[in-house]
Structure 1
Amino acid sequence: MRPLAKLLLLALFASLGFAQRDISDLDRDGYPDLTQLHGVAERAAFLRWFAAVAEAQYTAPSPTWKPEDRDCSGLLRFAYIEALKPKTPAWFKQFAYFPDPSIPPLKTLSYPLPILSRSVFRVAGGAYQPGDVEAGRLVGRTTAQYLLNHSTVFLGRTPEVAQRGDLLFFIHPLASGSAYHSMVYLGNGRVVYHTGLSPEEGGEVRLLSLNTLRAHPQASWHPVPENPNFLGFYRWKIVANGKHP
């Protein structure tokens, strides 16, 4: 083989090797490793951004949060995507109030994500495979049930395992609409969530304490281990990397 042809062939193999590493999913959690946050500081910053965006919707919903996405899972999706976007002056202008503006910016990821673009939520099991986006196994919009099952990892059923930016999930099989309901844990015993109804039906974002939830007249909303409707505290896979940080 001529030297030039050999060099070209080696370059091709090298590029294929890099491509293979770029799409690897070593923890087999359904997401390419390149699309997850690595390092304590980056993970902590994402959770803080996510929680701050969600909390800001309680004061005044952002005009960029589309009305058709204003429900309990829509709050999670909106805060997730906004947490990944570059934090420019124009970005901050969408918020009438932002509770934690001093968070360090993310350095290693930005929305749209590499490989996945805007299809950042998984809706099917299994490790990531090339073609998952095209096959609809990763999407840009989904429900609380799919977020729970494919985009998060279970932490436990008591608040001691959770930190600001983690999630709570409930299930009410006989409820109208989606049986799954989600909330964002803000730390210090507080949560923020959307009631799930459309704006026309009076849906709204609420912020309250876990103690208030524990006193809810319907025991199925109590965030306690003995409540079978409370599924527990969860963390986004983007910061969990297949295990508890």
Structure 2
Amino acid sequence: MLALSLLLLLEASAPVAPAPETRDVLLRRHVARVVLAQVRKQDAAWHPDQRDCAGLIRFAFRTAYKNVAPERLSTPLWKDARGRPADFADAETLLMHSFRPLGRDDATRESLRTGDVLAFRQEHDSGTVFHLMLVVRPEDRAHAPARVVYHPGEKGAAVRTGLLNNLATEAPLEWRPVPNNAGFLGFFRFKEWMP
């Protein structure tokens, strides 16, 4: 009986093997690595003609899937304006057909995960312009705050990054992800990553 008790005690105190990481966690981690690497130096594999805010998201997701789940790339990740699979989608089309809105409030901002998107719509003399920023949030929130990473859209521009909470309080109003900004469309998540 004592041997059985000791065996049970040893089994209970033995280190538990960590659970295998899910595909979702691995994909998000790779998206973060890809976009943060673009801040330092833009990857030559990211075609110069596609270097804008939507292009950064397409490149990061496609690269993450190539590394984690290449079989998923047997069909395009994105949907076109008619809802058909497509390799290319501009910012507006990505939002409407490949991402789902999460909300626009502070609670939603706090719940964002890496790979989620902030979306803005600005009216200019030349027409409506959509702009996307990608969220990078450390898995262990105690070690670093959430960031946004984005390409400003101008040819030859560098990829930029900043703290998400600073964007909400210090950016010009038209770029603040807050409910009283009419140009802020909300926070979005890739539909395939929704439960």
State the TM bucket, normalised to the shorter chain: 0.7 to 0.9
Of the three residues 119, 124, 130, the one matched with 1:180 is 130
* 1:113 to 2:73 alignment: yes
Provide the rounded CA distance (Å) in 1 between the counterparts of 2:127 and 2:70.
Answer: 33
Residue in 1 aligned with 2:52? 71
Runs of 4+ aligned residues of structure 1 deviating over 3 Å after TM superposition are 175-178
TM-score w.r.t. structure 2 length?
Answer: 0.77
CA distance 1:238–1:208, change in 2 (3 Å): same
Amino acid at match of 2:188: Y
Residue in 1 aligned with 2:142? none
Unaligned 5+ runs, structure 2: 1-20, 138-144
TM-score w.r.t. structure 1 length?
Answer: 0.62
RMSD of aligned C-alpha atoms? 2.1
What is the CA distance between 1:209 and its match in structure 2? 1.1
Q: Percent of aligned pairs with the same residue? A: 37
Of the three residues 155, 158, 162, the one matched with 1:198 is 155
Higher share of residues assigned helix: 2
Deviation per CA, 1:30-82, whole angstroms, max 9, x where unpaired?
A: xxxxxxxxxx8111221221122111100111111111111111100100100
What is the CA distance between 1:113 and its match in structure 2? 2.2
What is the CA distance between 1:175 and its match in structure 2? 6.3
Provide the rounded CA distance (Å) in 2 between the counterparts of 1:111 and 1:54.
Answer: 22
Amino acid at match of 1:215: E
Residue in 2 aligned with 1:215? 170
Residue in 1 aligned with 2:93? 146
Provide the rounded CA distance (Å) in 2 between the counterparts of 1:80 and 1:175.
Answer: 32
Residue in 2 aligned with 1:61? 42
Provide the rounded CA distance (Å) in 1 between the counterparts of 2:91 and 2:36.
Answer: 18
Of structures 1 and 2, the one with the larger relative CO (CA 8 A, separation 6+) is: 1
Amino acid at match of 1:235: R
Higher share of residues assigned strand: 2
Unaligned 5+ runs, structure 1: 1-39, 87-105, 127-136
* 1:123 to 2:80 alignment: yes
Contact between 1:220 and 1:229, CA under 8 Å: does it hold in 2? yes
Provide the rounded CA distance (Å) in 1 between the counterparts of 2:58 and 2:128.
Answer: 16
